[in-house]
Amino acid sequence: QKEVEQNSGPLSVPEGAIASLNCTYSDRGSQSFFWYRQYSGKSPELIMSIYSNGDKEDGRFTAQLNKASQYVSLLIRDSQPSDSATYLCAVSRNTPLVFGKGTRLSVIA
Amino acid sequence: IAGITQAPTSQILAAGRRMTLRCTQDMRHNAMYWYRQDLGLGLRLIHYSNTAGTTGKGEVPDGYSVSRANTDDFPLTLASAVPSQTSVYFCASAIQATGANVLTFGAGSRLTVL
């Protein structure tokens, strides 16, 4: 059973701070890694994708991948109350995505 | 239609009844998926289809069936609903079946089985 693990939270950070979300996965052959954001009552939407080791930045978001440690993270800089949501890590090895259970982020104004 | 349309948005049905959740996409995506989302359990894959005419089982396929007669439609059928199938169901699609492709999700169907 391929597993993707996330801390369920809630993770609370003050407005303007950096939020750090972490994810580990069990399938060492995984090749594709995604972060989705899901607001309450809504469907997941893609935030970031990353396929190779290192950092990938997009605006306030940075995804970090370390395949040797089987670890992927998402950093949100200058966190805003509108970032409050559940963040889902998803992993794939040319197969349908396997999702983690999500981390609930709360940004306090 | 733009993207993925799911119907119904919400449904309450009695245990033992047959139910079909509809999913239609207009993006000409080859791959389609059905996930269920339950509190504390995250998104779990029920069935998937890499291309029209083919289907596969996901993590939790029991009690569900799917068909993929054409590219656009991917209905999910509960032959005899049970209370444990109470959940939010999300249909998703991707351009190709390889895991590198991004999923686009529908708005979800909330199903309550009494």
> Bigger pLDDT: B99 or A13?
A13
pLDDT of residue B41 exceeding 90: no
Chain A residues touching residue B29 (CB < 8 angstroms): none
Whether chain B has a CB inside 8 Å of the CB on A29: the answer is: no
pLDDT of residue B99 exceeding 90: no
The SS3 assignment for A94 reads coil
CB B73 within 8 A of CB B66: no
Per-residue pLDDT of A36-84, as tens digits, reads 999 999 999 999 999 999 999 999 999 999 999 999 999 999 999 999 9
Section B76-98 average pLDDT? 93
Residues in chain A: 109
Q: What is the DSSP string of A36-56?
A: EEE-TTS--EEEEEE-SSEEE
Distances in Å between the Cα of B100 and the Cα atoms of A34, A42, A90, A108, B110 are 9, 23, 11, 34, 28
CB atoms within 10 A of CB B68: 20
Q: How confident is residue A2, by pLDDT bands cut at 50, 70 and 90?
A: low
d(CA A37, CA A44): 5
Whether chain B has a CB inside 8 Å of the CB on A77: the answer is: no
Find the CB nearest A32 among B100, B106, B107: B100
Chain B nearest CA to A108, separation (Å) = 23
Q: Give the sign of the dihedral formed by CA B22, CA B39, CA A97, CA A56.
A: positive
Mutate to test the interface with A, among B23, B37, B59, B103 (most CBs of A within 10 A): B103
End-to-end CA, chain A: 40
